[in-house]
A and B are shown apart, each in its own frame.
Chain A
């Protein structure tokens, strides 16, 4: 079974620029998550999709973050404009029972 694919692996941008991350979940997994992990902390849920509908985005900073899941498969997470405090690893996960995580995208905002 192929894992959860994420790209890019690394991204460095200046503050106020925009950035987008992509995730391809495991085939057949209806639930997809985006997590933000700041150095030294556990992952924090940003948004949860069930198929292409949003189940929970209560912790997503909607003034700058947006996410969509196309046709209930791939998903993109966008930040516009980025702030210094957005520097983190962004993890995508999918699952039906247990969860499988991608390798993450490490974002550095300078």
Chain B
């Protein structure tokens, strides 16, 4: 059974600092990995999707890396802003279309 772990559970940084969010998974036989953002009381918004054959994906200030062999992904958010405050979830998809989530990292960016 796939287990997904996100560390840290919570993070508080001053505005302008870079954010580093970690995700690890136990079964490296994945199809892809997706990072989501969740605002309080809202659904999930997809940020980045990395195929198993890729090493990284970038979108604006966001960059996600994937090391499938070691079961790790990292989400980097450059020059954080108060609007980046949210919970960030990592989800791993396996070949049977199952999507397994971590518990998330709650980020607070202080103005």
Contacts and interface: CB of A to CB of B under 8 A. Distances in A.
Interface of A: 6, 31, 33, 35, 40-45, 48, 50, 55-56, 91, 93, 97-104, 106
A20 B99 CA distance: 24
Contacts of A103: 42-43
Given A104-B42, A106-B41, A99 B99 contact: yes
- What secondary structure prevails in chain B residues at the interface with A? strand
B75 to A, nearest CB: 15
B34 interface: yes
8 cross-chain pairs, A with B, having the tightest CB-CB distances, nearest first: A42-B101, A101-B44, A103-B43, A42-B103, A98-B49, A101-B43, A104-B43, A43-B101
Nearest to A40: B103
Contacts of A104: 42-43
Contacts of A43: 44, 89, 101
A45 B99 contact: yes
Contacts of A48: 97-98
Interface residues of B, number: 24
B7 to A, nearest CB: 13
Nearest to A104: B43
A106 B102 CA distance: 20
Given A42-B4, A91-B43, A101-B44, 10 more contacts: A33-B99, A42-B101, A45-B99, A45-B100, A50-B97, A55-B97, A91-B44, A93-B99, A102-B43, A104-B42
Contacts of A56: 96, 98
B53 interface: no
Contacts of B4: 42
B76 interface: no
Nearest to B41: A106
